[in-house]
Amino acid sequence: MTDPNERRLLTPEEYLAAQNSPEFQDLKKKFRAFAFPMTFAFFAWYLLYVLLSTYAPDFMATDVLGNVNIGLLLGLGQFVSTFVITHLYVNHANKRTDPIADEMRERLEHHDYAGSRGTDTQGVTRG
């Protein structure tokens, strides 16, 4: 609360200006470009697995390595894909979205978006 950068709360207009800034649009785009297709992918992969287990049990029961069958391998594959996606997401966030978010937060704390209107995409700094 005593943080000097937060002496004054941000106004609704500042939020609107920040939202309309090109860097925020870029941040959103980069976030969505990873999160949305990846969500679709793991959800489809999970549904495929559930549907195969339900409606193609004989296929899933095909033994591959001794008693280990396709169903078990695909199930273990769900674990692997979950771990891999987690790892990819963290990398993506660290490299692509965090830098923009950190910089914007810094600028918002200094009220850098206060001067610009919603339509002004420069977000010009004002003393």
Quick one: 59 or 126, whose CB is closer to another protein?
59
Q: How far is the CB of 127 from another protein (least distance, A)?
A: 20
Would you tell me which residues interact with another protein (CB under 8 A)?
A: 3, 9-10, 12-13, 15-16, 18-19, 24, 27-28, 31, 34-35, 38-39, 42-43, 46-47, 49-51, 53-55, 57, 60-61, 63, 65-69, 71-72, 75-76, 78-79, 82-83, 85-86, 89-90, 93, 98, 101, 104-105, 108-109
Quick one: 78 or 121, whose CB is closer to another protein?
78
Q: How far is the CB of 41 from another protein (least distance, A)?
A: 10
**3-class SS string, the chain:** CCCHHHCCCCCHHHHHHHHHCHHHHHHHHHHHHHHHHHHHHHHHHHHHHHHHHHHCHHHHCCEEECCEEHHHHHHHHHHHHHHHHHHHHHHHHHHHHHHHHHHHHHHHHCCCCCCCCCCCCCCCCCC
Quick one: 22 or 57, whose CB is closer to another protein?
57
Cβ(64)–Cβ(77) under 8 Å? no
Quick one: 86 or 125, whose CB is closer to another protein?
86
